[in-house]
Amino acid sequence: MCGIIAYAGYKECQPILLESLKRLEYRGYDSCGIAVRVESRKSRRGRINPTPTIEVYKDVGRVGDLAKSFPQIQGLKGGGRGTPVDGQDARPTRLQTPGSGLGIAHTRWATHGEVSKSNAHPHLDCSGRIAVVHNGVIENFQSLRDELTREGHHFSSETDTEVIPHLIERYYDGDLEGAVTRALADVRGTYAIIVLAAGHKKLVAARRESPLIIGIGDRENFVASDVAAVLDYTDRVIYLEDGDIALVSEGSISITSRESGRGTPDSRLQTLDYRPVQREEQVIPWSLEEAQKGGYEHFMLKEIHEQPKAIENTLSGHISLIERTVSLNVRKEAGLEDIVLVACGTSSHAALIAEYVIGKLCHLPVRVKVASEFNCHEMALEKTWVWGISQSGETLDTLRAIKKARTLGCATLAITNVPGSSITRIAEQVFYTRAGPEIGVAATKTFLTQLVALYLLAFSFASPDIMNAEGLIEGLRLLPSRVRQVLDGAEGIIPHARHLSRYDNAFFIGRGLNYPVAMEGALKLKEISYIHAEAYAAGELKHGPFALLGPSTPVVAMATRDDTYEPMLTSIKEIKARGSQVIALAEEGDEDIEQFVDAVIRIPPIDPLFSPFLNSVALQLLAYYAAKERGCPIDLPANLAKSVTVP
């Protein structure tokens, strides 16, 4: 979940590393740092030391704060006096040769050890001549640390990462790639690492179950955890695969990988046998402008307003109004008896909505499993189709579930927003959601486009009679304009958000298709406003949660005009009898609802089957404006990161 970036080229690397690192802060932002290779360095007495060294600058806080304390160099915003950490000597100094073209950088989401300067990356070996940045978790780090300590290695942090540079130092004999390979043979866990050494003009990068890409430029190359980091400089990338080790310099890229069958990414390396491989170069389908705020105060608000276009893009080429059909490049598996949807967080809420839609239209048994709790033993295996839903395509628990399903012979389908991501190489079939880049940590447009993809899949498996009778294609076609209507009414949601922002706890309730929408609404509110919010099926309140109702606990209710409407009114009456204020999401023209609730957020009329789309957008706006009223860091909520790549 951390962000990593490296540069090898003819330009000064420091400004590039820091600007690229800012684009990765959504992956982690509690501390950050950079390490650069310096060809020569002036001593305090003015003498030049021609031996290359590594200088490390790191601190707690955001990348912008680090830039302000960094030594003055051409092209870098900020400036001032930096405090490097170089080996065992951490005395203040100045970077004497800012023209270094080789460096690595990291922005952290803490896993092992508190948020502190010593735990920030990059980490060094004892000599201070090998630096490493890492995303992932080293499961056996404690035993390795104990072993290395007995050998005389000294550690300065609480992190699992620090064992990696010490292991490399243990094996280093002048061959950096060989030392990295041998060090990784000792490691159990997940990693995307980049290694910088004072005595080498090439970077070494390696991955296992954590994403890593190489950006290809003209006399410059990049290594990063995400394509967002390199969009300023190139749209050409190589996606590394599990088990790959890459050597990257200004003018060359070479990749080796373990021989097939001689060790697996899920276990400790069984061999040091690697062979050269070619990885396909791909073009990033997003522009730099799409990854910028475009005049909006926050990325989240921009991405909420991009949802009509994202829906149109995901629908494009898949629906025919003339023939009332859905056309997909996904084949329905023969002999299919049931479908299992695996996902995490927001994606799991999309899956729960799809469970209802697919079950209703296709008469197929559908189950939803939180990916971290996925258990293949409950399935019919060869008769089960497993769909993995991940906006980034790198969600570790979802990747592991799809791998497990394939191992046991299940057919698999990936639903993701990122071409070339890990899940696209694991699953047999892929459906892309075409949401474009999403920078805000709280998912918005990726959630709605996941719903579009899942509805399209459901409609493609439904009988023509159902499709014609229900007018479902027309409902899909209307979605972008109906979502725009919700967005046009955002001003009317702001007063309710301000009211909600005064509370520390809130309930969200729904029934049927909109119960998962209530879950998503509660998640959005707690993610970005820090208001404790819980979602319940409305009929479950009387089985315990009623104990928490009262004047200090507002309730947001999904009051859609479907077959759950009357039972929802009954639940609302019971809530009001306990003294809680109720904000209802209700259709325009529904005058009955006003006599039962304290406030109403109006939703344009639409077939109830599509109500999750409109209700979700209204709840996104409600959460956004509540968080803004409370002065919260909306795009970078505390303790969270965009892509969950750790167990």
Separation in Å, CA 23 to CA 6, 477, 540: 13, 34, 43
Q: Is 560 helix (H, G, I), strand (E, B) or coil?
A: coil
Q: What is the pLDDT of residue 85?
A: 43
Q: Is 282 helix (H, G, I), strand (E, B) or coil?
A: strand
Contact partners, residue 347, CB within 8 Å, separation at least 6:
389, 390, 391, 395, 398, 443, 447, 450
Sorting pLDDT into bands at 50, 70 and 90, what band is 618?
very high
Would you give the DSSP letter of residue 411? E
Q: What is the pLDDT of residue 100?
A: 75
Averaged pLDDT for residues 473-500: 95
Lowest model confidence (mean pLDDT) among 45-49, 200-204, 592-596: 45-49
Segment 100-119, tens digit of pLDDT: 799 999 988 777 778 788 89
Averaged pLDDT for residues 423-449: 93
Sorting pLDDT into bands at 50, 70 and 90, what band is 191?
very high
Are 40 and 48 in contact by the 8 Å Cβ rule? The answer is yes
Segment 24-35, tens digit of pLDDT: 876 667 888 999
Strands of the sheet containing 429-432, edge to edge, are 366-370, 338-343, 384-390, 411-416, 429-432
Averaged pLDDT for residues 178-188: 94
Residue in 2, 32, 362, 410 annotated catalytic: 2
> Does pLDDT of 272 surpass 60?
no
Dist CA 543 CA 310 (whole Å) = 40
Lowest model confidence (mean pLDDT) among 18-22, 428-432, 552-556, 641-645: 641-645
Averaged pLDDT for residues 87-92: 33
Highest mean pLDDT among 259-273, 369-383, 464-478, 543-557: 543-557
Strand pairing category for 213-216 and 203-208:
unpaired
Separation in Å, CA 588 to CA 149, 401, 497, 600: 68, 42, 19, 10
- Helices 445-461 and 307-315 sit at what angle, rounded to 10 degrees? 30
Are 215 and 237 in contact by the 8 Å Cβ rule? The answer is yes
Dist CA 354 CA 347 (whole Å) = 11
Sorting pLDDT into bands at 50, 70 and 90, what band is 78?
very low
Are 24 and 213 in contact by the 8 Å Cβ rule? The answer is no
Is the preceding omega at residue 285 within 30 degrees of 0, hence cis?
no
> Does pLDDT of 511 surpass 60?
yes
> Does pLDDT of 320 surpass 80?
no
Lowest model confidence (mean pLDDT) among 51-60, 372-381, 475-484: 372-381
The pTM (predicted TM-score) of the whole model is 0.79
Q: What is the pLDDT of residue 297?
A: 93
Q: What is the pLDDT of residue 43?
A: 58
Q: Phi first, then psi: give them for residue 397, nearest 5 degrees.
A: -65, -35
> Does pLDDT of 355 surpass 90?
yes
Q: What is the pLDDT of residue 294?
A: 77
Are 414 and 402 in contact by the 8 Å Cβ rule? The answer is yes
Residue in 22, 302, 628, 642 annotated catalytic: 642
Which residues, in sequence order, are bridge partners of residue 133? Answer: 194
> Does pLDDT of 264 surpass 50?
no
Would you give the DSSP letter of residue 332? P
> Does pLDDT of 626 surpass 60?
yes
Are 316 and 435 in contact by the 8 Å Cβ rule? The answer is no
Are 234 and 216 in contact by the 8 Å Cβ rule? The answer is yes
Q: Phi first, then psi: give them for residue 229, nearest 5 degrees.
A: -70, -25
Are 519 and 508 in contact by the 8 Å Cβ rule? The answer is yes
Nearest residue to 134 (alpha-carbon basis) of 120, 153, 117: 120
Specify whether 32 is catalytic: no
Strand pairing category for 366-370 and 325-326:
unpaired
Average pLDDT, the chain: 86
Q: What is the pLDDT of residue 21?
A: 86
Q: What is the dihedral of CA 271, 267, 430, 225, to 10 degrees?
A: -80
Share of the chain above pLDDT 70, in %: 87
Contact partners, residue 610, CB within 8 Å, separation at least 6:
475, 476, 478, 479, 482
Sorting pLDDT into bands at 50, 70 and 90, what band is 303?
very high
Separation in Å, CA 435 to CA 143, 438, 449, 452, 485: 43, 8, 6, 11, 19
| List of domains in the chain | 3-283 (3.60.20.10), 293-481 (3.40.50.10490), 489-632 (3.40.50.10490)
Segment 140-162, tens digit of pLDDT: 999 999 999 999 999 999 999 99
Q: What is the pLDDT of residue 89?
A: 35
Sorting pLDDT into bands at 50, 70 and 90, what band is 472?
confident
Averaged pLDDT for residues 55-68: 81
Specify whether 376 is catalytic: no
Dist CA 552 CA 503 (whole Å) = 7
